[in-house]
Amino acid sequence: MRERHLDMYTAYKRASSKDYVSDYDREEGSARLLNGLGKEIGNPSWKRPLPHVLVATIASLLFGYHLGVVNETLESMSLDLGFSGSTMAEGLVVSTCLAGAFVGSLFSGWIADGVGRRRAFQLCALPMIIGSAMSASTKDLWGMLLGRLFVGTGMGIGPAVVALYVAEVSPTYVRGAFGSCTQIATCIGLLGALFIGIPAKDTAGWWRTCFWVSAIPAAVLALFMEFSAESPHWLFKRGRSAEAEAAFEKLLGGSHVKFAMAELSKSGPGDELDSVKLSELLYGRHSRVLFIGSTLFALQQLSGINAVFYFSSSVFKSAGVPSDSANICVGVANLFGSIVAMLLMDKLGRKLLLLGSFSGMAVAMSLQAMAATSFTSRSGALYLSVGGMLLCVLTFSLGAGPVPGLLLSEIFPNRIRAKAMALCMAVHWVVNFFVGLFFLRLLEQLGPLLLYAIFSSFCLLAVIFVKKNVLETKGKSLQEIEIALLPQE
């Protein structure tokens, strides 16, 4: 009986898809007869979906803020809560957040598919509000750790859902630029945490204010998502075609609805009665795109960028630059590169930016390795270290930073997009955790020359991998990308 029901359901959906295509063809033919020139309607306005994208990127801003909020506040926080001098406790304050992020990312796809993208954003904001309040009001280390665990859970859900939502609500011709907004928001969050945290060393209890402040954008995200459009792709996958049309009208305008629905129907309708099994993702026809996505995220982390972000202050301090100035320099370089990437994403394309970015990072890591050789003078070594570090951050933000999240949300088919993104983000967090955990130990055991040479080798490996495996998605609809990548059954 179930097989018969599924066959009838699939037949109904296929008929619906044909109806959309034929309706669009009739409407397009009428439009051409009216204008007599055979011109298409043109691209929808980017202004319609922009407010919805900006609301979604608040989650990325919170992601960046919570990554950076302990940077300036950790010292005063440890004094107030009684764990000053304990490197283990300080490490736990940072790593507990990463552990929560891993758990949140692992379940983000099931949440996004189960309750929709808008509700997933609200569920992402809720633990961030609770965790921020717990961290700000705690009287001991355990309260701080529990608060950071809650915050980390929200951080893990956020990036995957942002990438999904932005890709699914953006017009094709600006999808790259809108996708880059998430990286810019993360940079702004990091810089915001830095500037808000500056008084923490001199003002008693200021670190609590830093955590209270983060609850405000989280509340704004939860509230404004109530008025934002749901993803038409998710609605269509759930069989709610009328609501998908209404969402497209809100995002693109009435004249583009038929064409958008026809495009959505190309890849075949989603079947909400089928659950996506883990074995299907790992060993089935989707395994290739999942391999590309997870490997890209792993190479992003193995490039050594987080070693730069986590430990840049010590390198700058050895060059006589104060840590505040060091963090500002890194933050500004990251933000500048992200803005340039946004402007170039839909002109040069994702693949070219990735190739240029990983190549630049390989050069930057080589400069860091050269600084550790005996052939370099002390002043030359300092210039090479600082210059290599800033070049690494800049080139990372041009491609390796913003592109993987955007690219993965584009290459995964609609049916598996949310769950596949969740698995790839889990890979991201695992590799991120181990790089942060072992970097200082490896630096001590192997020395900077060999370690930075290894990072440079991973960057070159990423260049080869991108060249052989990554499909250029610039100017293609999500359905065209799916048809090009997915082998037919």
CB contact at 8 A, 308 and 326:
no
Looking at residue 323, its pLDDT comes to 63
Residue range 447-476, pLDDT digits in tens: 888 988 999 999 999 999 999 988 888 888
Token duo for residue 395: 């080139």
CB 89 within 8 A of CB 141: yes
Name the residue among 148, 108, 113 with its Cα closest to residue 127. 148
- CATH no., domain 278-488: 1.20.1250.20
The pLDDT assigned to 384 comes to: 83
Mean pLDDT of 117-138: 95
Q: Do 278-488 and 47-228 have the same topology in CATH?
A: yes
The helix/strand/coil state of 285 is coil
Residues listed for the chain:
489
Predicted pLDDT of residue 70? 85
Name the residue type at position 456. Answer: S
Cα torsion 416, 422, 423, 429 to 10°: value is 160
Write down the pLDDT at residue 14.
Answer: 41
Band the pLDDT of 273: cuts 50, 70, 90: very low
47-228 belongs to CATH 1.20.1250.20: yes
Q: How far apart (Å, rounded) are the C-alpha atoms in residues 141 and 12?
A: 58
- Both structure tokens of 214: 């983060």
Closest of 219, 218, 243 to residue 229, by C-alpha = 243
Residue 69 near residue 193, CB atoms below 8 Å? yes
Domain boundaries, the chain: 47-228, 278-488
Answer yes or no: is pLDDT of 27 > 80.
Answer: no
Asked if 430 and 373 touch (Cβ cutoff 8 Å), the reply is no
Distinct helix (H) and strand (E) counts, the chain:
21, 0
Cα 294 to Cα 103: distance, rounded to the nearest angstrom: 17
pLDDT top residue among 448 and 321: 448
What is residue 319's DSSP assignment? T
Q: DSSP states of 118-176 as a string? A: HHHHHHHHHHHHHHHHHHHH-SSHHHHHHHHHHHHHHHHHHHHHHHHHHHHHS-GGGHH
Which token pair is 407?
């690219």
Q: What is the pLDDT of residues 213-240, one digit of tens each?
A: 999 999 999 999 999 999 998 998 888 8
- Amino acid letter, 355: L
Contacts of 330 (CB under 8 A, 6+ apart): 308, 309, 312, 389, 390, 393
Number of other CB atoms surrounding residue 210 within 10 Å: 26
Q: pLDDT tens digits for 164-196?
A: 999 999 998 899 899 889 989 999 998 898 889
Instruction: Write out pLDDT tens, residues 81-94.
Output: 988 878 788 878 87
pLDDT at 487: 55
Q: What letter does residue 473 receive in the DSSP assignment?
A: -
**How do residues 359-413 score in pLDDT, each as one tens digit?**
999 999 998 888 777 676 777 777 787 888 889 999 999 999 889 988 888 888 8
Q: 3-state DSSP: the chain helix, strand, coil percent, rounded to 5?
A: 80, 0, 20
**pLDDT above 90 (res 98):** no
Q: CA gyration radius for the chain?
A: 24
